[in-house]
Each structure stands twice: as structure tokens, then as C-alpha cells.
Amino acid sequence: MKKGLIKATSGYERFVHWLMAISCLLLCLTGLGMMYQSLNFFGAIMGGLKGLKLVHNYTGLVFGISLVLAVLMWWKEAGIFVFPEDIDWIMTAGGYLWHVDKVPEVGKYNPGQKMFFLTVAFFGVIMLITGFFMWFTAYFPLGIELLRWTYPLHVLGFLIIFAFFFVHLYLGTIGSPGSVSAMISGWVTRAWLKKQHPKWLKEMEHQGTLIVSDGEK
Amino acid sequence: MAEKIKLYDASKCTACRGCQLACKQWNGLKAGQTVPTGTYQNPPSLQPNTYMIIHYQDYVDPNGDVKWLFRKEACMHCTNAACVTVCPSGALYYNKDFKTVGMDREKCIGCKECVAACPFEIPRYDSKTEKVYKCDMCESRITNGLDPACVKACPTGALKWGDKEAIMSAAAKRKQDLGVVASTYGDKFVGGTHFMYILKEQPDVYDGIKKNPKVPLSVTLWKSWLKPLSLLAAGGVIGGSFLHYVLHGPKRPDPEEVIQDEKTQGGK
């Protein structure tokens, strides 16, 4: 490992992130395989569409577990907006959309990341609840008229999470070079941190919690 | 071949349940154990192994006369069928010739989406086989030029299977003959059903009948709006990201900071 890299994420954070990412993607793919008959062939490697449905159902449980872990881990850092600096950041759209001379400094998570976290957390819960009753319709207590609404709600959740996922994918990779290593090795460059999360860098330096690689290994 | 309709004329029905038995026989369906509840109606409702039942109802009309009303309940074979719209596997489909709603049980994955979508609440899920069951208008018979088993068995002519136009006009005429309170049921809903009733009373007199069945709004919202919108939204985001990359450019660390980093790392 190079010298001077800074530790941005713990192994546990990366584990929870990838548990959620992989289960969520598998849910999106198997869900698409059921939503579009032209995509029924996704089930071919799962023993047919019935197998695909089972994979979808049980992957939902894994996603549920990862969602609980993620919310417990991140809600304090990514679930709460800080005023007024988060508003200032939103007013400049983080400098992503138009030229901004001075983007307000952000901490560990910028408001865009917080929105993504809150969206996934909120709609993730919706997906778990509606998904559970779509799986076990007999346990739905409120009658068939309302049971029917679990289906469009489930698709609404998919629409929002799936679209937001591509924003996340873009900004976590080529849209913001240097980001992806935060979720691979956990180490990022100081230059990246200074650009993306300057306030967090200062906080860690101030609190003495900054972990810098010494170039050994 | 032409679109066909099955007609149930309640005024000719004696509730002998020959149709119910013929249905079981042709479809190879077993009977379940039930307990007497003081009615001939048995089983009490549709089941995975009971595609149709005859309803028995004591009805006191506005004149104080007691009437014994019968009604055959089964899949209505909608022209615009919510079950076909929601079925993810293509197990439920429209018969090409007759426009009835057939079912390929091999393809059924037991997701129960049709059970929730059906405005008539007809399909039944069997947790043992993990599949859904409903009347398919005896697909194996009608495609071979035979009448559905229930029609074949009916001894009074209360059940008929025929071309849509002929059945519709026969139904209208019969309703006229029966007088003012008689009604037809099915032709006005979900684009017209391929199973329709002539009833001796107005439909809302009958227990368990759906007063105004239509494709649920939730199904339309789900399949006609949110489903295409979900791909459109994802496509829009991908396109938007591409435009962002080529027009605005990615958010890179400042060059001077990168040079500083490289010095720390010992050159290169």
C-alpha cells in the first residue's frame, strides 16, 4: 500500500455496504425478471421463474438484515441533516450541476449522500413490508382492497431505488474519481478527501482519529 | 373462430348442481370434507379444487314473498382481465379464438398476484401445490369443438355456450320475457365478460355478487404507469449521468493536492 493514504471506511462498513448492494441488485434483477415477461429468461439459471421468485423472496430477507445493520450503523452520520451548512450545500447542488466558486465544506456525508441513505432506508422498509405481504397474502390484515395497493407501492419503491442506484453508481465511480477505493480497500487519497469531505478531514485531524498509511506492507 | 360466451340463465336453474359435479369430473378435482351449515350450498365458497359453485339464497322481496335464488359463481372470463395483466409468467392468457381466459398451470409460479388483482375474487391459491386454480372454460373441450363440461351436463338448458352475438341477443330477449325486475350481469363490466348471467332479480339482491367490478385502479397504476416509468427513470438517470460526464465533467481532486500526495508517497 502506498504511503500517505487515509483510512475512510472500516471493514464492517464495507461488509454491510456490499451485503446491501449485492442483495439489492439481485432483488432488482429478479424483480425485473418477473415484471417483464420478456425478461423471464433471467430465471433460466435459477431453475425457472419459480426458482427466480424463491431467490427474490429469500434475498429479500438478506436485504432486510443488511438494511437493519446499515441503519444502525449510519443513521447518526448520514440520517440527520445539519443546518444551515447542508442547506447551503443543497443550494449549490454540491457544485455538481453548475460552476460554483466555493462549495460549502462537507463532513463525512454530503446532503446528497444523506438523501440517498434516507431514501433507501425509507423505501427499503416499504419494500420489506409490501414484499412480506405479497409473499404471505394470507397474513395481510386489512382486506383485499388494500392488499392490492401493496403491489404498486412495491413498484414505486423499485422505481425510486433503482433510479437512485444509478446516481450512486455514477458518483461512486467515474463521476468522482478516487471514490471507489473507499468501498474496496477502504483507503483514499488525501487529495480526494480534501475535495470531497474537507470538513471530515479537519475533524479527524483535530480529534486525532486520522489513520494514515505508513507505506509498509 | 368467433368470440364465444357462456350464459347462465338463473330462471331456468333448478340448482341440481349437475354442473358443479361435471366440472369436478372433467377437471379431475377431488372433494374436500365440509360440515353442514343449514344450506345446500357446498362447499361454502370456491376452493382450489372447486372451480364453480351454485349459490343458494333465501330472499324476501319488497312484497314480502320469499324466493329461493340461485347463482352460479365461477371465473367470469373478462375481456380486460386484471389477472392476465398482472401474471408475471404468462400462465394466464386469453384464448386466441374465444377470448376466454385460459391457464397454463405448468407456468404458474404461485405468486398470487392474480388472486389479489381479480375484481371478482375468483382465483384460489393452493399452498400444497403452490399454484393457483380457476375455471378455464374447459379449454381442453372448447378447443376441440365441445361445450364446457358444465354446459354439457345442464339438464334444463340454464347453461348455454355460443357465439357472442347470438348469446347476447338471446340474453336480452330472455330478460324482456322475464319482466321488469330481471337483469343481465356481466356484459357491462371489464369490457364484457365471457360468462354472463340472466338473473330473476336485480344484481344487487344477490349475496356475494360484485356490484361494480372493474380492473382495480392499483393494477392500472402498477402495470400501465409505474412499470414503464421505472425503466424510463433509470434510463433517464443513466443518460443524465453520461451528459454530466461529458458536459460538466467529473469531480476530481484539485491537481495541486494530487501533486502534494504524490510527494508524500515518495515520487512517481
Cell of B123: 382465483
Q: What is the mean pLDDT of residues A103-113?
A: 93
Q: Is A47 an 8 Å CB contact of chain B?
A: no
Element (H, E) at A54: helix A49-78
The predicted model scores a pTM of: 0.93
- Tell me the pLDDT tens digit for each residue of B11-58: 999 999 999 999 999 999 999 899 998 999 999 999 999 999 999 999
CB-CB under 8 Å, B230 with A163:
yes
B101: left (phi over 0), alpha (psi -120 to 50) or beta: beta
Q: What is the mean pLDDT of residues B90-104?
A: 97
Give the SS3 label for residue A95.
Answer: helix
Domain range holding A136? 12-188
The CATH number of the domain holding residue A81 is: 1.20.950.20
Give the SS3 label for residue B99.
Answer: coil
Q: What percent of chain A clears pLDDT 90, i.e. is strictly above it?
A: 90
Residue type, B86: V
Q: Min CA distance, B156 vs chain A (Å)? A: 36
- Asked if residue A190 lies in contact with residue A201, where contact means CB atoms within 8 angstroms, the answer is yes
Q: What percent of chain B clears pLDDT 70, i.e. is strictly above it?
A: 99
Query: For the purposes of burial, counting CB atoms within 10 Å of the CB of A217, is it exposed (0-12), middle (13-18) or buried (19 or more)?
Result: exposed
Q: What is the mean pLDDT of residues B82-103?
A: 97
Hey, what CATH class is B4-214 in? alpha beta
Any domain includes A77: yes
Query: For the purposes of burial, counting CB atoms within 10 Å of the CB of B24, is it exposed (0-12), middle (13-18) or buried (19 or more)?
Result: middle
Q: How many residues does chain A have?
A: 217
pLDDT of A129 reads 98
Enumerate the residues of chain B whose CB falls inside 8 A of the CB of residue A137.
112, 115-116, 125
ipTM of this complex: 0.91
Confidence of residue B266 (pLDDT cuts 50, 70, 90): low
pLDDT of A102 reads 87
Whole-angstrom distance, CA of residue B168 vs CA of residue B101: 19
From residue B31, give the alpha-carbon distance in Å to each of B22, B35, B141: 12, 13, 22
Q: Min CA distance, A52 vs chain B (Å)? A: 9
pLDDT of B268 reads 44
Confidence of residue B267 (pLDDT cuts 50, 70, 90): very low
Any domain includes A195: no
CB-CB under 8 Å, A162 with B219:
no
Cell of A163: 433510479
Q: What is the mean pLDDT of residues B133-158?
A: 97
Any domain includes A21: yes
- Tell me the pLDDT tens digit for each residue of B116-144: 999 999 999 999 999 999 999 999 999 99
Q: Degrees (nearest 5) of the Cα angle A152, A158, A163?
A: 130
Residue A33 has pLDDT above 90, yes or no: yes
Which one, of B16, B148, B139, B116, lies nearest residue B70 by Cα?
Answer: B16
Enumerate the residues of chain A whose CB falls inside 8 A of the CB of residue B247.
none
Any domain includes A142: yes
How many domains does chain A divide into? 1
- Asked if residue B161 lies in contact with residue B6, where contact means CB atoms within 8 angstroms, the answer is yes
